[in-house]
């Protein structure tokens, strides 16, 4: 397959899939990026920053946005986190350990940056937890009565920069509908549970270079996410990691990853390019189901197991390239469900008969051809 060219031009990322041995046409994928001016670039000082927008006017039926903005977080030492609310008021810190709570009133609507400085000897946590009357996280609370501060305030958080000495609890950053960009500048050791599930406007993500794990649902339902660079240190990708990312167009999986979990790319119907490295041994159930923009996919020689419905409804696929000389195990007869009649499954020279006679492979035998050495 011809190489993928990636160029940056006027804030736009382009990926060109050139016609060649396996592709019968050129495909140009353009992913609009926000300009650099739109993404915060604060100093590398280890501080955490929340970029918020306070509405000018109160929305009908909601409490005054500028009054008593709630902030919930965990701290391991009293007065261990300094809060600068970004409006010229005096910074404050809170007594107690565990989950602490502060509120602040903004006199004027507009854009503000809340700066959280964690002192040496303390760790701060982005939390998601239950109190006697509801559920809380960094901004707001959802009450048992059904009234949701969290949903209201989640639209106010636009950008997030995560600094040093920060722990991220599971679910604590999900469903922030106004969140556009995230930068994780810490060492990555305490953020493996981080999920941005249903952060529907998220378009720009910077992950730490030494991050080794991303958990289940990490970017599930992030509809506006078009591109992401995964760190080379990554070895674990959780199930449904990109499920439902309907605008994601290209992903390069790092070389240390050995398994692509169930539904990892399910419903990524704009996805045209995935690079799967040597070393991957397993594709989970429905790993690429409903990826109907894919036309070509190369599977490594290390692949051993392919989950049920792994390529379900990839009906525009023109060619699969299986590099293993031994047919990987197919878990069921519907791995290639709704495959295009003219799709070709290429296998190594001399291996066609082994593939055609293997369990469940025999059902797609008419699609199997040996790879040309020309």
Domain boundaries, the chain: 1-33+212-374, 41-204
Among 188, 195, 180, 226, CA closest to 210? 188
DSSP-derived secondary structure letter, 38: G
| Angstrom distance (rounded) from CA 264 to CA 288 | 7
| Angstrom distance (rounded) from CA 319 to CA 321 | 7
Among 10, 33, 31, CA closest to 293? 31
Three-state DSSP state, 9: strand
Domain 1-33+212-374, architecture per CATH: Alpha-Beta Horseshoe (3.80)
Three-state DSSP state, 364: helix
User: Do 219 and 197 touch, CB atoms closer than 8 A?
Assistant: yes
Three-state DSSP state, 367: helix
Give the burial string for 354-364 (b: 16+ CB within 10 Å, else e).
ebbebebbeeb
User: Token digits for 17?
Assistant: 């899939």
CA angle at 213 for the pair 211 and 217, rounded to the nearest 5°:
125
User: Do 214 and 234 touch, CB atoms closer than 8 A?
Assistant: yes
| Angstrom distance (rounded) from CA 207 to CA 229 | 8
| Angstrom distance (rounded) from CA 192 to CA 199 | 17
Per-residue pLDDT for the chain (374 aa), expressed as one digit of tens each? 344 443 333 343 434 443 334 444 444 444 444 444 478 899 999 999 999 998 876 556 555 556 678 899 999 999 999 999 999 999 999 999 999 999 998 888 899 999 999 999 999 999 888 765 667 888 876 544 444 455 567 888 999 999 999 988 888 898 899 999 999 987 665 566 678 999 999 999 999 888 898 888 999 999 999 999 999 999 999 999 999 999 999 999 999 999 999 999 999 999 999 999 999 999 999 999 999 999 999 999 999 999 999 999 999 999 999 999 999 999 999 999 999 999 999 999 999 999 999 999 999 999 999 997 65
DSSP-derived secondary structure letter, 92: B
At residue 357, what are phi and psi to the nearest 5 degrees?
Answer: -100, -5
User: Token digits for 67?
Assistant: 């009054």
| Angstrom distance (rounded) from CA 71 to CA 82 | 13
pTM of the model: 0.85
């Amino acid at each position: 397959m011809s190489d993928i060219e990636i160029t940056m031009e006027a804030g736009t990322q382009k990926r060109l899939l050139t016609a060649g041995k396996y592709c019968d046409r050129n495909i140009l994928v353009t992913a609009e990026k926000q300009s650099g001016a739109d993404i915060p670039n604060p100093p590398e000082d280890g501080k955490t920053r929340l970029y918020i927008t306070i509405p000018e006017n109160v929305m009908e039926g909601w409490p005054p946005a500028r009054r008593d903005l709630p902030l919930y977080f965990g701290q391991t030492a009293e007065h261990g986190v300094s809060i600068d609310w970004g409006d010229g008021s005096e910074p404050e810190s809170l007594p107690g350990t565990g989950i602490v709570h502060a509120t602040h009133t903004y006199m004027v609507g507009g854009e503000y940056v809340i700066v959280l400085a964690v002192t040496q000897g303390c760790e701060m946590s982005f939390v998601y937890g239950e109190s006697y009357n509801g559920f809380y996280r960094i901004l707001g609370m959802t009450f048992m009565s059904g009234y949701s501060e969290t949903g209201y305030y989640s639209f106010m958080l636009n950008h997030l920069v995560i600094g040093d000495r920060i722990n991220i609890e599971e679910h604590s950053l999900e469903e922030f509908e106004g969140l556009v960009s995230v930068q994780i500048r810490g060492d990555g050791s305490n953020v493996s549970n981080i999920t941005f599930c249903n952060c529907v406007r998220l378009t720009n993500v910077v992950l730490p270079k030494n991050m080794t794990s991303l958990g289940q649902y990490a970017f599930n339902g992030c509809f506006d996410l078009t591109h992401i660079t995964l760190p080379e240190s990554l070895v674990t990708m959780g199930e449904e990691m990109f499920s439902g990312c309907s605008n994601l167009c290209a992903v390069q999986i790092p070389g240390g990853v050995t398994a692509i979990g169930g539904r990892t790319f399910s419903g990524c119907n704009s996805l045209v390019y995935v690079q799967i490295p040597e070393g991957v041994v397993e594709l989970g159930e429905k790993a690429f189901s409903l990826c109907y923009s894919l036309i070509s996919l190369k599977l490594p020689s290390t692949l051993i197991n392919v989950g049920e419905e792994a390529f379900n409804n990839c009906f525009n696929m023109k060619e699969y390239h299986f590099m293993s000389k031994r047919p990987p195990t197919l878990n069921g007869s519907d791995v290639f469900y709704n495959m295009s009649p003219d799709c070709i499954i290429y296998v190594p020279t001399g291996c066609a008969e082994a593939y055609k006679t293997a369990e469940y492979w025999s059902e797609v035998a008419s699609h199997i051809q040996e790879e040309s050495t020309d």
